[in-house]
Structure 1
């Protein structure tokens, strides 16, 4: 998970993805020009804290400086299961690794 391109499997936008490069992450969609840029601090191999630094999505509920904790709960081949928590709200999701 520390490096690569990951497609969101549970997002409404089926083109939404994350590009992770160690301590930097960007979330994008192939449908819009908007994105979220974040710094990443790895707590351990299965947990990281993502600090949002730039958000271009209109009316996005979080802002620069907000921190999201991501716990990787399971890896099954190229599928990564996770739980994310930001500002007291948590949700579960899945990524599929599509590129190293």
Structure 2
């Protein structure tokens, strides 16, 4: 009976240790578990930088900071401000926080997914998805 109690205590200890280990892990992109403390820091490709693109013949300035994204239209008169959450160095989600752009159809909280597909000669090529619609675009880096 003494040995049985010892086996039960060891089994409970082993289960609690493995449950704790499982709670302190996260699933990575490959479907395997990685301990949380070993999770790599994401360094985004578009951190602390400015870009421009054309929209209806006008230049739009896009500013990326650590966790913010702002697009300025009509020489800064109008804007779209979003929070950024990077899931990898080349992919992020932008959550709309505020906009004063006339006739802007989206409300605070909507999420846009952006995937950088290529960087070439000062241009960032990307694919964006919002509300079930996907499109491709490019921005030129401002120096």
Fold-level match, TM-score > 0.5? yes
How far 1:88 sits from its partner (Å)?
0.5
How far 1:77 sits from its partner (Å)?
2.8
Cα distance between partner residues in 1 of 2:50 and 2:91: 18
Which structure's relative contact order is higher, taking Cα pairs within 8 Å and 6+ residues apart? 1
Aligned residue number for residue 93 of structure 1:
137
Match among 38, 52, 57 for residue 96 of structure 2: 52
Q: CA RMSD in A?
A: 1.4
Match among 22, 37, 47 for residue 2 of structure 1: 47
TM-score normalized with structure 1 length: 0.90
Deviations 1:19-58 (A, max 9, x none): 0002111100244511000100001011010001001112
Count of paired positions = 98
Q: For structure 1, list consecutive stretches of 5 or more residues without a partner in the other structure.
A: none
Match among 128, 133, 139 for residue 84 of structure 1: 128
**Higher helix share goes to which structure?**
2
TM-score normalized with structure 2 length: 0.64
1:11 is the counterpart of 2:34: no
